[in-house]
Each structure stands twice: as C-alpha cells, then as structure tokens.
Amino acid sequence: MQHIKDTEIKADGGVNSEFQHYYTEEPTSALKVKQIEFTLRDGHIYKFKTPSGVYSFGAVDKATAILINHCSKIDGRVLDIGCGYGVVGIALKKENPSISLCMSDINKRAVEFAKINAKDNNIEADIRQGNLYEPWQGESFDVIISNPPIVAGKEVWMQLIAGAFDHLKINGIIQLVAYHNKGGERIKKYMSEVFGNVQDIWKEGGIRIYLSVKND
C-alpha cells in the first residue's frame, strides 16, 4: 500500500510508528473530497468520491486496480476487508451482481464514503465499521479479498490472514494483493503457513495476487 506521509517500511514488513496513516479509526486531516473515474479492463466505468485521510485519495492505486481486474472467480458471500472508500467491493459487485457483498474498515471516514459510493453506484452492501473481523464475529464467507494495509505493521496483516481462516467457509478462498518485494513475499509465506497452500494467480509490475483455499 502507498499514499502515506513520512513512512518507513522495515525489512521485516513492519513500519516506523512515528507517523499518522489511514489505518486509524478517526482521521485528523481536514476533509477534502475528489471525484474520480475508474475504468476496468472491460471498459466499464465507475465513479467514486474519494476522501482525504483514506487510502488512495484522488486515484485508484495500481495494486487495487490489478486486484479488481485479475482476481479469481468471485461468488457467494464476499467480504472486502479494509475496504477504504469501497472501490474493490463495489466494482466486483457490479461485475458479479449475484454475490452478497460485505465491506468493512477501521477508518470511520472510509466507511462513510463506502456507503456513499455504494449508493451512488446503485449497489447493495452490508458495510460496517471496525478493526479487521470485529464487525463480523460469528459470520463466515465464501471469499475474503483485500489490498492489505502493509504499512500498518506485520501484526495487522498477520491477523487479517489468520482471522480469514476462521471466517471462511470450507473451500472458501482468500485473495490478497501486494508488491512482492515490499512485504508481499512475507504475506505469501504466512498464507501458506495458515492455510497449507498458496499460489500466485497474477503477476504484473512487481505486484502479485496471492490466493489460498480453506480446505478443512
């Protein structure tokens, strides 16, 4: 993930804590809003309101675009965790209308704008605010998908992966996108440890999509 001020990503996938970033419940930056257009590879165009203090303000980042365009088949009940202002979940719901979409983020401003963007794009979604799986206790999904907040530190993305095992149905899948040489390699290794399997389903410009299946 990018869009961070004064950030230092450590070699172990951790992060220098002496900065404020979007992985926070209450952003303190003054609210600014930019309207953007995002075009999928099939030519479909989506419009989003993007707020400051939320990841990828003013543009859809490359990793997120790759995840939307090249993720594996999406069906059933889908959780976009760390949804930001909603671009991944909303685009996937429009492209796959039969899915039941859930989205959540720790950032209250992100959740507010995810709800706005869902309404503006005429999609139905269950959108909740909270840290990782706190809003989804006792619930399960067929697909969990995310551009994980690597800069928030390895404890966060490790909890995201470990928690996914508990919240996926049997044969459910988790799909994560990352720059392989900027934390992604460690993410892939931990996915393999937790799920007993992992594969690269897309590679492009140093970015990879990793997929694991919950077999039992």
Domain hosting residue 66, numbered range: 33-213
pLDDT band at 3 (very low <50, low <70, confident <90, very high): very low
Please give the average per-residue pLDDT across 104-110, as a whole number. 94
pTM, whole model, 2 decimals? 0.88
In a domain, 28, yes or no: no
CA atoms within 13 A on the CB side of 89: 35
Per-residue pLDDT tens over the stretch 112-156: 999 999 999 999 999 999 999 999 999 999 999 999 988 778 999
What is the identity of the amino acid at 159? Q
* Token pair listed for 212: 């694991």
Distance CA 15, CA 99 (A): 35
* Token pair listed for 197: 């399997």
Per-residue pLDDT tens over the stretch 72-94: 989 999 999 999 999 999 999 99
In a domain, 97, yes or no: yes
In a domain, 2, yes or no: no
In a domain, 100, yes or no: yes
In a domain, 170, yes or no: yes
Length of the chain: 216
In a domain, 11, yes or no: no
Total number of domains constituting the chain: 1
Q: What is the CATH number of the domain that holds 84?
A: 3.40.50.150
Q: What are phi and psi of 69, to 5 degrees?
A: -75, -25
